[in-house]
Amino acid sequence: MAEATALRPHHGMCLAFFVGEGYSEGFSAHMGTVKRHLSEETPVRLTVGADVICAACPNNSGGVCEKPALVAGYDNEVLRLCGLSDGQVLPYGVFRDLVHTRILAAGRRRGICGGCQWDALCGE
């Protein structure tokens, strides 16, 4: 099996709604590249910490988010609702489907991250 790609659990929601907008042009380009490279079978290691997407985030300072408690809260709630745990490895397609079924289709997204600056994009 290929090495697992580190992925913050809340990024499962961000990827579902990503339309090319983000914190900066570099961040948006990077997130688009990550999204294109995540196939159904790509192993992801869920992490409540910096991941492959955070690498290009202007709010990432040396691998630490400027709002660590806020984003960790997002991550932990996604893990709880999906019945997953920090450090768990699973195929991206399985993770994506859990996020869709247990959070997005169930109308729970706003309860997790409704205060996020990108909420309007996800609500469309």
Provide the domain limits for residue 92. Answer: 5-116
Q: Based on the structure, what is the number of domains in the chain?
A: 1
- Is the residue at 74 inside a domain? yes
Residue among 11, 31, 36, 22 nearest 96 (CA): 11
The reply to whether 109 falls in a domain is yes
Q: Per-10-residue mean pLDDT for the chain, 124 residues long?
A: 89 91 82 94 96 87 88 96 98 98 96 89 78
Q: H/E element holding 28?
A: helix 25-37
Sign of the dihedral through C-alpha 23, 32, 120, 50: negative
Residue-level pLDDT at 1:
55
Give the distance between the most distant pair of CA atoms in the chain. Answer: 38
Helix (H, G, I), strand (E, B) or coil at 89: strand
pLDDT given at position 117: 86
Alpha-carbon distance of 123 to 23, in angstroms, equals 18
| Per-residue confidence (pLDDT) for residue 124, from 0 to 100 | 66
In a domain, 123, yes or no: no
Indicate whether 122 belongs to any domain.
Answer: no
Q: Is residue 124 part of a domain?
A: no
- The reported pLDDT for the residue numbered 88 is 98
- Provide the pLDDT for residue 123: 76
| The pLDDT of residue 7 | 97
